[in-house]
Structures are given as C-alpha cells and as structure tokens.
Amino acid sequence: MAEGGSTDSGAPTGRAARELLTRADGLLAAARAVLADHERAVVAVRTALDPLLDALVRQDLAAIPVSRLKDVTEGRLRIGAVEQAGFTTVGQVYAASRYELRQIPGVGAQTADQTLAAAARIAHAVRDTVALRIDVDAPDDATTALVTAVYRLVAAGPDVRRAVDGARRLSDRLGPLLAAAAPARGRLRLVFARRRVRAGALQAVASVRDAVADARERELPLLFGQVSVDLLRDPESPVAAWVDFELRSAEYYSLLAELSGTGPDRDAAEGFLPSGMADRVRGLRLDDARLRVSLRGYQSFGARFALAQKRVILGDEMGLGKTVQAIAALAHLAARGETHFLVVCPASVLINWAREVRARSTLRALPVHGPERAAAFAEWRVSGGVALTTFDGLHTLEPGGVRPGMLVVDEAHYVKNPETRRSRAVAGWSRRTEHVLFLTGTPMENRVEEFRSLVRQLRPELAPAVTPTHGAAGSQAFRRAVAPAYLRRNQQDVLTELPALVQVDEWEEFSEADRAAYRAAVEAGHFMGMRRAAYARPESSAKLQRLRELVAEAAENGAKVVVFSYFREVLDTVREALGDGVFGPLTGSVEAGRRQRLIDGFADARGHAVLLSQIQAGGVGLNMQAASVVILCEPQLKPTTEHQAVARVHRMGQIRTVQVHRLLATESVDQRMLDILARKERLFDAYARRSDVAETTPDAVDVSDASLARRIVEEEQRRLGAG
C-alpha cells in the first residue's frame, strides 16, 4: 500500500490518511472545547440565577395558605395537626425538614412525606411562573454576579447557538468515525488488521474526510475558535456588564427565560390556538442557520406558525417583533433552498426592512424602489435575495417566471379594499406564492370585516365562517375561530420576562421635498435648520408620515403616546398633522401648574391619547407613565437628554412595556450625529449617567454642542458639495 495514496473508493491512505485524521482530531477537540466552554458559561449563569429564583419562590410560597396543600392531594392529605403546630403558609412547610414535621404530635412518617411532597409540587409550579426583574438602579452583589455571568453568552452573540449546534452534531459524527478509523493511523497496524476491520477503517477515513470538508465549507473551525474566545471573555468591569445590560436588556432576559425555563403562559404565547394546531406548529423545527439573532420563545413560535400554516396573518401587538419573526421564516426557507423572497411595505419602513434583514440574517436585501427600481428588480430575478418594494411600486413589477419562496406584506391593512390597485397587485403575487405572510398590529377582532377581506386573499374558504359575532364574543373567542389563518399575542401576555423598555430606530429616506429643504439648510450652514428639515414640507415629510403610522397603530391598541422634539416648530407641525384631541405642547414657557394639568388630563383620558412636549421641558420633573409609546422626532445632541426624557415614561409605576421610536433620516445630520456620538467611550457615558451630577447637569458629561454642530455641518457640506 503506497504511502500517501488512496483506495479505489477514494479514501486517503498512509500519510494522507494520518494527516487527515490529525486535522480531524483538532476539529473534534475544538468542537468539544466549544461545548465545554458553553456549558461552563451556562453553569455560571444558573449558579447565579438559582438563588434569586429560589428567593422569589419563597416569597410567593409565604403568601400561599397551608390549606392549599389539600388541593394538591385532592383532599386526601390531613394537615390539621400541622396547622395546629403553627404552620400557616406553604412556605413554612417547604422550609421545614422531615424531622421537624415528625416531631408534631399526630404526624407520622407517611403524612410528613406527603406534606413535604405537596409543598414541593406547589413550589415547582410557582418556580415555572416567577419572573425575575433586574433593577438597574439598585444593583447588588447577587444581581451583579448574574448580569456578569449572562454577559459572556450575550456578548458572544447569536453565533453561539450556531456554534454549539454545529459542535454537537460534529462531535456526535466525528467521535465514532475517528474510533473506527484508528487502524489507519499506522501503516503496519492497517496492514495487519483483519480484512473487515481494515475495510471499516478505510470507510471511516472516507467519512471523516467528508465531515472535515463539510465543516470547512461551513467555516466551523473559525466559528469554534471565535466563539470559544468570546465565551471566555469577561467584561472589563462589573459596570461594563451593567452598561451592556442596559443596552441589550431584551437579549439578557431572553436568555434568562430560556435557561430558567420560566416565561409567559404557553397558551397566551401561542395565541390561544387549538391544541392540535399548536402541537403541529411546535413540531416544526425552525432552521436558524441563516439567522443572526436569538429569537424569544413566542417569536420562534410565530415564525413556525407562518411556515406550518403557509398563508396567514401575524397580528402581534406593536413592539413584539413581527419583522424579526418574518425574517426568521424567510431564513428558514432560504436554508431549505429557496432563493427569492418578496416584501411589500409602506415606503416609510422600507429602509428599516433593509437594515433589519441585513442585521438579523445572512440574507441579501435588495430595495426595489425609486428611479433604479426596474434595474434592481431585474437583478433580483436573476440573483435572488429579499426584494423590498412599496405598495405603490408593486403593480409595476412583472414576476415573469419567478415564484417567491415567501411573500411578506407589512402593514397589511393597506390592502383591505380588494378593489384598489395595490390590493390587486398583492393578490396577483399571492396567487403565485405558496407561503404568504401578512403583518399588521391592528387588532382584527375589532375589525371583523377588514379581517374577512384580508383572509379572502389568503384562505378564501375560511372567510364565510367569520362573522361579526366572533369579534363581539371577545378576543380569545375570535382568535380561536380564525386560528388557521391568524395569530396575535399581546405585550402583557408574552413580555413577562422582559424589562419594560423596547427601543427602535425608525430610519426613513428623505422625500424629494425633504431633500431640497435639507440641502438648503446645509448650504446655509444652518445646523438647527438641518435638524428640522425633515419636517419643513409637512405634506411630503417621510418622518411625519411614519409618525402618523406609529400613532395610528398605538390608537388601535389603546396606547397613550408622548411625542418629544427639541423644536417648538416641529411640535406645531405634528399637532397640525394629528388633528384634534392632542394634549400640549408642553414647552418651557408653560407655567408649572398648567403643565401638570395637561399631564393629568392626558393620564385621565380614556384609552388612546397623544401628548406633545419639548424634550427639554418634558425631560425634567414630570412623570408621564400613563404613556407606553415614546416618539423622538429627532436625535439629540446630548444622549442624557433623551435618557432623562424617556425616564419620565419608563419609571416606577409603569405597568406596560415602553416602546421608544426614534425617527431618523438616512444620509443626513441624524446619521452623522449618531456616528459621532457612538464613538464616545461607552463606559465613560455610563459612569457619568449613573452619577447625581450627570442627572442634574447633563452638560457636564456631553460633548460640546458647538464643536459637534460645526463638525457635522462641515462634513455634510463636503459630502453634498455645498457651502
């Protein structure tokens, strides 16, 4: 057998086989190292988490009367003697030992054991429901240890899941193969092996070669090395971990819910679907190889619902991540071989869609909009990816021979009237596509006719069965009636494990009028004019259009909204655009008593209401926790100004998750400000923001207004060739 040759089957032998097996040993060691590093990180989190959960469980058990032990045993347990001995709560029994209970007159070994078992069952049920809340304003040693432990997993990013899954599969595959291939590690050993053993070894070598080649093609060696390093990286300091927690708290809570096994009620998280349908959706394994984000449990279920039911409406309440669920469904289909996808949305969110697709997945986003629309669409037909177009542009696109793997229609209530051109265009593409996903935050149980119109495009056989009676019977009755085509979850049902703050950057593209106003301000070197330019032409303002949409969606969900801007002129424009029934604006010239009356009126208003405020006035000394939606009309020069304004809403007494929407214009002063401010030292920001001085005098820790303004004006003049 020649040194370094191969068999008839192509399996390497001799030196080539030994080198291959050595490489495979290294790959297997790297895979096992990733698994070990991940396990250590998980154990560290659980070690810090368990005492905190135990304390919450004990707190809840202390409020449960001892008589509830009889309910667990359906009345068979006699606890009279236990009660007479002074045990009044389940918590006291749970903390007791078998020996202590045996000392009670009339309590034998069997009764003691049954009593402790009943208390343990209640404790187990309580543990499944407790929700840990981490108070960033009152960190202690226990929560700091937990945040620091979770930091390693969060900082390592979404690649951790892919690395661990890949390492586990590779380890399961390579381990037995390398054992079977052992005779091929030595020439003489292989020569003198029995024929069956030799044949098995050579076959195993061939399989090892395939496994190594597949791992290299998927870039697993590089991934394993990077993730192992990331999982071993501690934060620079406890404060650094707390800073990261504030910036990405949703990811921390998502991981904690996953590791603790706690979370929202399953029926609510699954939209009260019938059990058989929910089982079928749960049974679908979501392929996340093309995703760059970890999904929360309810988000994973939403994506699987869209895939399993194929033609559906996802109607989750505003702020629950409908976009990322849609992207997860697209990524799953892409991992299974689909190449072309189409997203239709209002022009105001097209840029956001492009950014989200690129940030949350490895899919290629291709905006099909504007003067280059035809060329972009032709490129998509040839090369594939996620084509992003608007309702008004869709009718100009001819599919030709392309059948998208999925059609996603955002803000689907735009096509509720089947007679409009946009609805006919959507229907035409829908008929060509097996998977169709409509997204809308509008609660359909309040608009049964609108729902029936939408569902006719998706599942015409279901439409006749939907009547106004279903809506009148309440949301759960409506959802069960339309379950095959509709999934909706509310914040209060599924965000129990999350902190009460969700921040969204709403990127908009200037309209032509916006762009002209902006260029004029740049040419004049007018920094404040540049910041206001997006609202200079209200009739065509892209930001104002998005603001109207956000307010309308909040109105549909009965949520109160606070709109902040630095500029009185912008608030006047917003007030005129929204019409009657708007409170404010609160400005520095409004005396304190009237300010409080405005806020009280806003809080007392039934259901939806809008309050306008200058950010300087609303950010100091006023509590606005009646609101659950904050809209920032433009970014601020001082990050602390935004922080203080949002804190008026997101504070003690707030019972709903707060959504913060920051309206931003691409290729503008907004983007330049964020780029420059992002370069500031994050830790310095955090130390300063946590200090009393920073809270009372933001100027002390922020960059100079004048230098920042001058720098941005000069950059924009150079970019636009103006001034």
Residue 243: count other Cβ atoms within 10 Å of its Cβ. Answer: 22
**CA–CA distance, 389 with 429 (Å, rounded to integer):** 13
Report pLDDT for 688.
38
- Is residue 73 pLDDT above 80, yes or no? no
Q: What distance in Å separates the CA atoms of residue 490 and residue 492, rounded to the nearest whole number?
A: 6
Please report, for residues 231, 385, 526, the alpha-carbon distance to residue 378 in angstroms, rounded to integers and kept in the order given.
43, 12, 41
User: pLDDT category, 548, cuts 50, 70, 90?
Assistant: very high
Residue where a domain stops, chosen among 448, 474, 494: 494
Name the residue among 475, 478, 429 with its Cα closest to residue 311.
Answer: 429
Q: Are residues 483 and 520 in the same domain?
A: no
Which residues form the domain of 655? 501-720
Burial class (CB in 10 A: 0-12, 13-18, 19+), 281: buried
Tally of domains within the chain: 3
Q: Are 162 and 278 part of one and the same domain?
A: no
Q: Is the separation of the CB atoms in 559 and 565 below 8 Å?
A: no
| Separation CA 44–CA 146 (nearest Å) | 8
Mean pLDDT value of segment 107-129? 88
Domain co-membership, 543 together with 481 = no
pLDDT in the model for residue 626 = 81
Indicate the residue among 454, 476, 494 that finishes a domain.
Answer: 494
In the chain, what is the straight-line distance between the N-terminal and C-terminal CA atoms, in Å? 79
What band does 106 get if pLDDT is binned at 50, 70 and 90? confident
Q: How confident is the model at residue 623 (pLDDT cuts 50, 70, 90)?
A: low
pLDDT at 3: 53
Same domain, 255 and 268: no
pTM (predicted TM-score)? 0.66
Residue 236 burial class via C-beta count within 10 angstroms: exposed 0-12, middle 13-18, buried 19 and up? exposed
Assess whether pLDDT exceeds 90 at residue 627: no
Segment among 73-82, 88-97, 405-414 with least mean pLDDT: 73-82
Looking at residue 723, its pLDDT comes to 62
Q: Are residues 204 and 276 in the same domain?
A: no
- pLDDT over 50 at 698, yes or no: no
**Structure letter (DSSP) for residue 317:** P
Mean pLDDT for 84-90 is 92
Q: What is the mean pLDDT of the chain?
A: 84
- The 3-state secondary structure of 130-161, one letter per residue: CCCCCCCCCCCHHHHHHHHHHHHHHHHCCHHH
Q: Which of 524, 497, 398, 409 is nearest to 455 (CA)?
A: 409
> What's the pLDDT at 692?
37
Mean pLDDT check: name the lowest of 337-351, 550-564, 566-580, 672-686. 672-686
Boundary-marking domain end, from 260, 277, 295: 260
The larger pLDDT score, comparing residue 189 to residue 587, is at: 587
520, pLDDT greater than 50: yes
Q: Is the domain of 473 the same as that of 542?
A: no
Angle CA 339–344–345, to nearest 5:
140
pLDDT tens digits for range 224-241: 999 999 998 888 889 889
Q: Per-residue pLDDT for 122 more than 70?
A: yes
Q: Report DSSP state, residue 702.
A: S
Say yes or no to pLDDT of 564 above 90. Answer: yes
Q: Is the pLDDT of residue 703 over 50?
A: no
- Mean per-residue pLDDT for 78-94? 90
Strand partners, 562: 611, 630
CATH code for position 705: 3.40.50.300
Q: Domain with 460 in it: what CATH number?
A: 3.40.50.10810
Q: Are 311 and 365 within one domain?
A: yes
Residues 429 and 507 placed together within one structural domain of the fold: no
Query: Could you tell me if 9 and 104 lie in one domain?
Result: yes
636 compared with 464, residue with greater pLDDT = 636
Given a contact cutoff of 8 angstroms between Cβ atoms, the answer to whether 294 and 259 are in contact is: no
Based on the fold, state whether residues 274 and 255 are members of the same structural domain: no
| Nearest-angstrom CA–CA distance, 3 and 24 | 19
pLDDT value for 696: 38
Is there a single domain that holds both residue 544 and residue 413? no
pLDDT at 273 (0 to 100): 87
Kindly state whether residues 515 and 471 are assigned to the same domain: no
Side chain identity at residue 145, one-letter code: A
Q: For 335-354, what is the mean pLDDT?
A: 91
More confident residue, 684 or 41: 41
Asked if residue 522 has pLDDT above 90, the reply is yes
